[in-house]
Amino acid sequence: MARLTFHGHATFSIETDDGTKLVIDPFFEDNPGFSGSLDDIEADFVLLTHGHFDHVVDTEPLVKRTGATIIASFEIASYFEAKHGFTCSPQHIGGGVHYPFGYVKMTPALHGGKVDLPDAGDYTTVPAGFLINFESGQRFYHAGDTALLTDMQLLKGQVDVAVLPIGDRFTMGPDDAVRAVDFIEPKVVIPCHYDTWPPIEQDAEAFKSAVGDRADVQVMKPGDSYDF
C-alpha cells in the first residue's frame, strides 16, 4: 500500500510501504489549494516534472530542510547542484533509475522548457512525466504538464494509477484527458492542474462522467489522501 496525498494543482506526496516519502512538483506557499505549512512537508526524494514555477518554486526550502534527493532532468538537476549544492539524481526522457523504493522512468511530455528559478540564466530543459514502479508492486504515472501524446499509448498495460492534467489552456483539457485514458487504460485516474486559478477552471465531475466505466476517477480535493 502506498498513500498518495494531493496538495492542490499538480503537487502530490507519496508515502510508500517502507515509509519513504516522495514529493512531486513542490508548489506550496503560493499554491491557492494548499492550506498547510511547507514546514510540515517531509521528503526523502523530490521529483520535478519540469521547470515552471508552479512545479519547482518550493524545491529550495524543502530540500534545504529535509536533505531530500532531487530527481529531475539533467538540466534541472545541474541547476540545483550548481546553485545550491543539493544532492541530485539526474535522469532524462526514456531513462529509468532503480531507487530503494522503486524504478522511476521519465516519460515524454509536450510543454514549455523554461527553468523558472532565480538566476537560472541559460538553463532550459524538456518537460517530463514520471512512471514509477514501486517495489511494493504499484505502478504510478504522473503525466506532468503535457498535451495529449500518442506516445501515451506506450504506457498501456503499465499503469495502475494515472495522474493527468485536465485544466486546458496550458495542458490537455478534459476531452483530451479522456483520450489519454483510452490510450493508457489505467485502473484509476486522478485529475490535476485545474481550478487552481480561473483560467484553468474545470468541472472534474463532468470529466469523471466522460471517462465513465473506462477507469475509476478519483476526484481529490487538496488535503485528500488516496491509498493504492
Query: Contacts with Mn ion in 126-165 (CB under 5 A)?
Result: 145
The residue (of 139 and 193) whose beta carbon lies closer to Ni ion is: 193
Among residues 44 and 176, whose Cβ is nearest to Mn ion? 176
Closest to 127 measured CA to CA, from 165, 171, 93: 93
- Closest separation between CB of residue 54 and Ni ion, Å? 6
Among 52, 105, 139, 142, binds Ni ion (CB under 5 A): 52
Antiparallel, parallel or unpaired: β 69-73 and 102-108: unpaired
Q: Where in 66-85 is the site for Ni ion (CB under 5 A)?
A: none
Sort 212 into a burial class: Cβ within 10 Å, 0-12 / 13-18 / 19+: exposed
d(CA 100, CA 164): 26
Of 55 and 139, nearer to Mn ion (C-beta) is: 55
Residues in contact with Ni ion, counted by CB under 5 A, come to a total of 2
From the list Ni ion, Mn ion, none, partner contacted by residue 15 (C-beta under 5 to 8 A by kind): none
At position 147, the amino acid (one-letter code) is A
Report the residue closest to Ni ion, judged by CB.
52
Nearer to Ni ion, 102 or 129 (CB): 129
Count of residues in contact with Mn ion, rule CB under 5 A:
3
Instruction: Output the smallest distance, CB 44 to Mn ion, in A.
Output: 24
Spatial separation of the C-alpha atoms in residues 121 and 102, rounded to whole Å: 33
Chain positions 39 to 58 lying near Mn ion, rule: CB under 5 A, are 52, 54
Q: What is the DSSP string of 21-68?
A: EEEES---TT-TT--S-GGG---SEEE-S-SSHHHHTTHHHHHHHH-P
> What single DSSP character describes residue 221?
P
Task: Supply the minimum distance, in Å, between the C-beta of residue 1 and Ni ion.
Answer: 30
Stretch that binds Ni ion, among 20-28, 51-59, 73-81, 101-109 (CB under 5 A): 51-59
Residue 139 contact partner, candidates Ni ion, Mn ion, none, CB within 5 to 8 A by sort of partner: none
Query: From Mn ion, Ni ion, none, which one binds at residue 44 (CB under 5 to 8 Å depending on kind)?
Result: none
Contacts of 105 (CB under 8 A, 6+ apart): 91, 94, 95, 96, 130, 131, 132, 133
Our finding on whether 145 is near Ni ion (CB under 5 A) is: yes
Q: Is 9 near Ni ion (CB under 5 A)?
A: no
Give the SS3 label for residue 78: helix
Q: How far apart are CA 86 and CA 103, in angstroms?
A: 21
**Which of 17-25, 96-104, 143-151, 195-203 is the region at the interface with Ni ion (rule: CB under 5 A)?**
143-151
- List interacting residues with Mn ion (CB under 5 A): 52, 54, 145
